[in-house]
Amino acid sequence: MQSLLLPTYFIDSDHPAVIAYTREVCDGEQDLRRCAIKLFYAIRDGWRYDPGVVSLKKEELKASHLLSKDSGYCVEKAVLLAACARAAGIPSRLHFANVTNHIGTERIEKILGTRVLVFHGYTELYLQGQWVAATPAFNRSLCEKLGVSVLEFDGVHDAVFQEYDPDAGKFMEYLHDYGSFDDLPYELMIAEWRRHYAHLFRRLGNKEVMVLTDKPHTAE
C-alpha cells in the first residue's frame, strides 16, 4: 500500500504544481474522504472533457501537464486525480477498460469506425479501508448537454459510468477489463490504441497524436 502513495513518472504527485493544486482544493481538510470528494469535483468540472487530439508524448501525459490546460480526456483526468490523491496522503491507482457509449456518440463513432472506446480510464482511491472507484471524466455541463445524469462521488460508493441511466436509457457498457495499475501503463495503452484505431494516428507539428476531431489544429 505504501507504494501507492509514492510519485511515479506519470502520477507525479511530488510536482510543485500538483502539490499546490491539491492544497488549494483540499483547503486544510484533514478528513481524507472529504478531501477526496473535493478533489473529484474540482477535477470533474475544472476541465472540460475533450478527446479531440490525444498527444502520445510521454511528458504530456503526466498529471502535472493537465494543470497547464483547460480540457482533457478520461485518462488525463484520472491520472491527475490519482496524483492529487497521493499528494493528499490517499493511496491511489488507475483502472482501465474498454467500453461502449450509447449516448451522443454519432460523430465520434464515425471517426473511430466503432462504438468501442478503448482504454477508458478512471481512478481508484483507498478510503476508510476499501478501494472506491472514481471517474472524473465527464464534466457537469457536458452531461447536461448529452442529457445524462451527472456522476456523483461520496467517497464510499463506486462512481463509474452507470450501465443504465434512468433518464436517457442505456449509457455505458464495460466490455473488457484491463485491471488496476500503479502508474499509467503507457506501452500497453498505445499498443491497444494502435490495434483498434490505427487510422487515427498521424503527425501534428513535431509530435505524433491520435486525432478524434475534424479540426485537429484547433486542439493543439
> For residue 201, what is the domain's CATH number?
3.10.620.30
What cell numbers appear for 158 in the block? Answer: 463506486
For 180-204, what is the HEC assignment? EECCCCHHHHHHHHHHHHHHHEEEE
**Taking the mean position of all CA atoms in its chain, how far away is CA 79?**
6
CB contact at 8 A, 125 and 71:
no
CB contact at 8 A, 103 and 171:
yes
- φ, ψ of residue 202 to 5 degrees: the values are -160, 170
Mean pLDDT, 10 residues at a time, the chain of 220 residues: 95 98 97 98 95 91 96 96 98 95 64 85 97 95 83 94 59 87 98 94 88 55
Compute the C-alpha angle 68/187/3, nearest 5°: 75
Q: What span, in angstroms and rounded, lies between the C-alpha atoms of 215 and 23?
A: 36
What cell numbers appear for 207 in the block? Answer: 509530435
CB contact at 8 A, 209 and 202:
yes
Residue type, 103: I
Residue type, 44: R
Q: What is the pTM of this model?
A: 0.92
Q: What is the pLDDT of residues 173-196, one digit of tens each?
A: 888 999 999 999 999 999 999 999
- Name the H helices within 132-216: 140-146, 186-197
Domain that holds residue 35: 2-219
- Name the H helices within 96-139: 106-112
Element (H, E) at 126: strand 116-127
What cell numbers appear for 120 in the block? Answer: 477508458
Q: Based on the structure, what is the number of domains in the chain?
A: 1
pLDDT of residue 48: 93
Would you tell me how many other CB atoms lie within 10 Å of the CB of residue 120?
A: 25
Instruction: Give the bridge partners for 132, in sequence order.
Output: 125
pLDDT of residue 168: 55
For helices 74-87 and 16-26, the axis angle rounded to 10 degrees is: 80
